[in-house]
A = this chain, B = another copy of it.
């Protein structure tokens, strides 16, 4: 894990061709080609997981003020950070239009039209879109931005509360699988009442501990109950002929997922990308001398073709520069496996493979076993990155029974676990005394004393310095 994470993160985004933050609007950056590919492969994973049981749709980006304002609690949560379109051409619009901060108020008026009977339920739609927040806090690329370029939001409607609770569990399972594929560890908790999504009954969240000890919220899942169903009049005729309100859920992940892939796995040398999302899974580096140059390049092309047949993403770096510079570049860019091939390797019918995560070199034979060996090395890389990340996280969650110990633990990069009674006033008091946020409730317990010293504990709570 890197020292001085914030600086490292800022630099790597530019040096590895991920984003460029010099765009002339603060908090809005450009996805550069290499970063775009990481984003694409990451989104393909979540799409594939969702497509099993959800349908992709696409809603307009603008929301009329009258719709956004309908749900009072919801709009309160967003009104300070909504961008407003007030003019079309030279003319003032009759009604100002919000750049969606999230799409509940764009989608649910349509659910009201689409849902007629229990036969229309459940609806399980999702979209991947850009959303906007007029952030007043300090912005950071991919972490706190004004245009969230990659907001995956799912919105479901159900006929019973039970089904909506099951849907929450389904989303949890999907997100677990998603983050597992990225090798990203997570802490799952139920957000405290005062930190749930505006309008939700309850919010489940995924957080990851970044190398600097701060937690980053990387996924949220909300049971909306019937709040929006009442506001937007989303009703259905049940089997018994009765008209009832639907139960709803929504769930989101954003650009922050990419921030965590970069931040969690990276080291002082650069990125270490999990093979599943790396733009190139294998980079072939020819070692060229005047003599035998053509043969080496021909063999590299052959290896590339052989590996691509199994679906691997492979590139050859045949730039006319020193091999050492090429190694450095691909270490910076985090390609999981490098294959080096020079004239002597060609003679010996071998290639020298180097895993990015470990840095050790091993020789592998250039025969029909090559693809299997490469896939094996990639799988081991994927597992090792994931395991290291989980180990780091596990070693940075510390339990304490003493309020006065929290500060030290958090300031040395830990998330703190403690017993809590669940009372809001006491929770807020703990937050105030320590200066940190309660992430949420990790589990229910039946014994123990609240860390406040004011009664029995009901929960294990998590507390952290958050992004």
Contact = CB atoms under 8 A, between A and B. Distances in A.
A83 to B, nearest CB: 5
Contacts of A134: 88-89
A64 B130 contact: no
Contacts of A241: none
Contacts of A136: 89
**Total copies of this chain within the assembly:** 2
Nearest to A89: B80
A207 interface: no
A61 B96 CA distance: 18
A125 B33 contact: yes
Given A20-B110, A25-B60, A57-B30, A85 B82 contact: no
A61 B83 CA distance: 12
B55 A25 contact: no
A443 interface: no
A23 B59 contact: yes
A448 interface: no
B30 A60 contact: yes
Interface in A114-149: 125, 130, 132, 134, 136, 147, 149
- Counting chain A residues whose Cβ lies within 8 A of the other chain, the interface size class is 35 or more
A404 to B, nearest CB: 38
Contacts of A86: 84-87
Interface string A194-233: 0000000000000000000000000000000000000000
A86 B83 CA distance: 8
A466 to B, nearest CB: 22
Nearest to A30: B59
Contacts of A31: 57-59
Nearest to A81: B89
A57 B86 CA distance: 29
A46 interface: no
A144 to B, nearest CB: 15
A378 interface: no
A312 interface: no
A87 B84 contact: yes
Nearest to A150: B58
A40 interface: yes
Contacts of A55: 33, 36
B83 A88 contact: yes
Contacts of A62: 25, 28, 83, 147
From A30, A64, A99, A125, residue with most partner B Cβ within 10 Å: A30
Interface string A14-44: 0000001011110011111100110110000
A109 B40 contact: no
A97 interface: yes
B24 A64 contact: yes
Given A88-B83, A89-B80, A32 B57 contact: yes
Contacts of A85: 83-86, 99
A411 interface: no
A33 B57 contact: yes
Contacts of A61: 61, 130, 132, 147
12 contacts: A23-B59, A24-B64, A25-B97, A33-B55, A33-B57, A60-B147, A61-B132, A81-B88, A83-B85, A83-B87, A88-B134, A130-B130
